[in-house]
Chains A and B, each alone.
Chain A
Amino acid sequence: MIRSLLWILARRFASVIPVFIIVTMLVFGTLRLLPVDPAQMSMPPSASIEQVEAKREQMGLNKPVYVQYGLWVRDVFQGDFGQSTQYRMPTGALVLERLPATVELALSALVFAIVVGVAGGLAIFAVRDTPLETAGLVGTSALMALPDFLLALLFILFLGVLYPILPVNGRLDPGITLESDTGFFLIDALLSGDPAIFLNVVAHLALPVMALGLAFAPMIIRVLHSSLVSTYQHSYIEQARLRGISDRKILFGQALKNALLPVIILVGTQFGGLFGGTLLVEMIFSYPGLGNLMLRSMQTADLPIIMSVSLIYCATTLLFNSLADAGAYLINPKLRA
Chain B
Amino acid sequence: MGRSRRLPDIRLLFGCAIAVTVLLAGILAPWIAPYDPGAQDLLRILQPPAWDEGGSSAHIFGTDSLGRDVLSRMIYGARTAMTVAVLATGGAMILGMLLANCAGYFGGWLDWCISRLVEIWLSFPPVVLSMLLIVGLGVGTDKVIFAIILVDWTRFCRVLRSEVQVARRYDYVAYARLIGFSHMRVIAREIFPATLPMLITLVSLQMGISVVVEAILSFVGMGVPSNVPAWGQMIADARVDIYSAPWGLALPILAIFGTVLGFNLLGDGLRRVLDPRSRATARE
Contact = CB atoms under 8 A, between A and B. Distances in A.
Please indicate whether A and B come from the same complex rather than being unrelated chains. Answer: yes
A298 to B, nearest CB: 5
A119 B258 CA distance: 27
B246 A157 contact: yes
Contact of A147 (B120, B136, B216, B284): B216
Interface string A9-32: 000000000011011001100110
20 contacts: A19-B116, A20-B123, A23-B120, A26-B120, A30-B133, A30-B135, A33-B136, A33-B137, A144-B264, A145-B208, A147-B212, A149-B216, A150-B256, A153-B253, A230-B281, A280-B219, A280-B220, A298-B131, A306-B135, A310-B128
Contacts of B281: 226, 230
Interface of A: 19-20, 22-23, 26-27, 30-31, 33-34, 129, 134, 141-142, 144-147, 149-150, 153-154, 156-157, 161-162, 222-223, 225-226, 229-230, 262, 269, 272-273, 275-277, 279-280, 283-284, 294-295, 298-299, 301, 306, 310, 313-314, 317-318, 321
Contact of A157 (B122, B208, B250): B250
Contact of B132 (A141, A273, A284, A310): A310
Which of B128, B216, B282 has the most chain A CB atoms inside 10 A of its CB? B128
B240 interface: no
B188 interface: no
A319 to B, nearest CB: 10
Interface string B243-262: 10010011001001110110
B239 interface: yes
Contacts of B268: 141
Contact of A229 (B123, B131, B243, B282): B282
Helix, strand, loop or mixed for chain B's interface? helix
B284 A222 contact: yes
Nearest to A26: B120
B125 A276 contact: yes
B106 interface: no
Contacts of B133: 30
A273 B282 contact: no
Contact of A154 (B120, B126, B253, B261): B253
